[in-house]
Amino acid sequence: MGASAVAAGTFDEAGLAEWGVRFARSLARPAVVGLSGELGAGKTTLVRAIAVGLGVRQSVTSPTFALVHRYDGAGCTVYHVDGYRLRRPGEAADLGFDDMMRERDAVVLVEWPERFGAELPPLTHHVVLSYVADAVLRRLEMA
């Protein structure tokens, strides 16, 4: 697969979903993917698409109290972590990042990665979503 399959661009919701599926299929594991962007930028939308691309059949819902949800993909385990409710990085100390990283076939998808501070394992990929003038489009870049 060429690098252009997961290149930056400006996408509508369907386009972003297609990007997520392509990206998922390009991922070497274990992977830790940070997803940054303002509220409503499309992080969870992209997580759902990546999960689909990884063969997750369950519906992906945003973690709230647990901060992390685990899904079975096709030959991999998908973790969806959301730091939005984290008040300080130390609250993530018991989240289990170390255990996730010990799984060879883990794909860890982290919304609001900047909130985890030093608790966050090194990112293998960092996706940044932002608003553009057109309300149905989002800019996607790799940081």
* DSSP assignment letter at 136: T
Give 10's strand partners: 139
Query: 6, 31, 41, 108: which one contacts ligand ATP (CB under 6 A)?
Result: 41
Whole-number Cα distances in Å, 56 to 4, 24, 34, 100, 117: 24, 11, 19, 17, 28
Strands 68-72 and 77-82: antiparallel
Q: Measure the CA–CA gap between 55 and 36, rounded to whole angstroms.
A: 23
Smallest distance, Å, CB 107 to ligand ATP? 17
Shortest separation between residue 38's beta carbon and Mg ion, angstroms: 10
* 140 makes contact with ligand ATP (CB under 6 A): no
DSSP-derived 3-state class of residue 116: helix
Count the site residues for ligand ATP by CB under 6 A. Answer: 17
| Least Cβ distance, residue 102 to ligand ATP (angstroms) | 27
Does position 138 interact with ligand ATP (CB under 6 A)? The reply is yes
DSSP annotation string for 82-114: E-TT-SSGGGGTTS-HHHHHHSTTEEEEEESGG
CB of 62 to Mg ion, least distance (A): 5
Q: Say whether residue 34 binds ligand ATP (CB under 6 A).
A: no
Residues that bind Mg ion (CB under 5 A): 43-44, 111
Residue 3 lies near ligand ATP (rule: CB under 6 A): no
Interacting residue ranges for ligand ATP, rule: CB under 6 A: 11-13, 16, 37, 39-45, 84, 111, 136-138
